[in-house]
Amino acid sequence: MFYDNGKKQRVAAFIDGFNVYHFLDNSYFSKYKWLDYKKLASSYLPRKGELISVQYFTAQATWDQHKVRRHNIYIRALQHIGVEVVIGRFKKIRKKVIIRNDASHRKFKTTDGYINGTQFYGYTFEEKKTDVNIACEMVSKAACNEYDIALLISGDTDFEPVIETVQKVFNKEIYVVVPNRRISGSIQRLLPKGHCASIKEKHLIESILSDPLILKDGTSLKCPKEWRAINT
């Protein structure tokens, strides 16, 4: 049951860190990676909502120590401001790759039709557990009545089943904030009007962490130089 008589409704925010990061990393918004997710989530609260928890779901790129170092700095910053960090993992997988080669006599079926090419196998990394971790937390917290409204920040359509479950089984409201400006129609159809939005630049600007960020023990955390805007 939701709170009545004008009382605030409890909002739990679930952040798909990998989804947001890749949107920022591949766009004009890359200078906004040093994000305060509590502030960002607060920008999208419904009128009667009160933010009670923020969980940030991510995974470590263990094959790249420079990325791990930057990520660990950021994780400490988020934990300092009261964000709970839930870490998944990446799995190394063998993957078939087709390279176009007009001189080859071998033909391969691709999404673009049949092409002459060369086949080889390489390795890549796929993120594991993050989607499952988010879904489990959304459902378990709903089952324990730990929130009235779930605020999901992700553009991943894989969350459609959990959105339906939380709404229908536990009678909880869902708001979705999509990093990309293009909101999936299938997600919109699952939600009431006004329950889905795209991240706006003004909210990113308002949600940048202090730089440096001073921890309680006096430690100074600085935004990684690779994340800073040019000429700053």
d(CA 86, CA 17): 10
Determine how many CB atoms are found less than 10 A away from the CB of residue 76. 14
Tell me the C-alpha distance between 15 and 37, whole Å: 8
Contacts of 1 (CB under 8 A, 6+ apart): 171
What is the set of domains in the chain, with CATH numbers?
9-88+129-227 (3.40.50.1010), 91-126 (no CATH)
pLDDT of residue 75: 96
Helix, strand, coil: what percent of the chain each, to 5?
35, 30, 35
Per-residue pLDDT of the chain (232 residues; tens, 9 = 90+): 333 446 789 999 999 998 999 899 877 888 999 999 999 999 999 988 999 999 999 988 666 788 889 999 999 999 999 999 998 754 545 566 667 777 787 887 776 678 787 776 654 545 557 788 999 999 999 999 999 999 999 999 999 999 999 999 999 999 999 998 778 888 989 999 999 999 999 999 999 999 999 999 999 999 999 888 643 3
CA dihedral 197, 51, 20, 25 (to 10 degrees): 110
- Measured between alpha carbons, how far is 127 from 61 in angstroms, rounded to an integer? 9
The reported pLDDT for the residue numbered 181 is: 73
